[in-house]
Amino acid sequence: MFKDDDNLDQAFQNNESIKTMFLGWFDANKKYADGRNLTYAKFPTKFVWIATQRQWKLRKQGQNISRLTCVPPGSGEFYYMRILLTIQKGYVDYANIKTING
């Protein structure tokens, strides 16, 4: 979030350094072998997002039902990214998402 009178470049740089759940998923897949067998949508069944630490940790108890935000087909690349996240497993970075069969 930023105010109307904030410097736009500074607001962008501040936001760029924040680790999101999605970027945390990359890190968790690097760290935990168990996560590499789960799609992004299924990830919360075995892991929990710790918001204060901005990272995923192994779930110690219970289960969770997760959902991905609805993205209409007319959204182009966002729609196709969502489809990939429901099928592919174990991504560790953006380059990995763009790679098919090696």
3-50: pLDDT as tens digits: 788 888 877 776 666 788 889 999 999 999 989 999 998 998 899 999
Reduce the DSSP state of residue 57 to 3 states and report it: strand
Q: How far apart are CA 78 and CA 70, in angstroms?
A: 10
**Dihedral angle of Cα 52, 57, 63, 67, to the nearest 10 degrees:** 70
How large a percentage of the chain has pLDDT more than 70? 95
The whole-chain average pLDDT of the chain stands at 86
Looking up tokens 């959902």 gives: 67
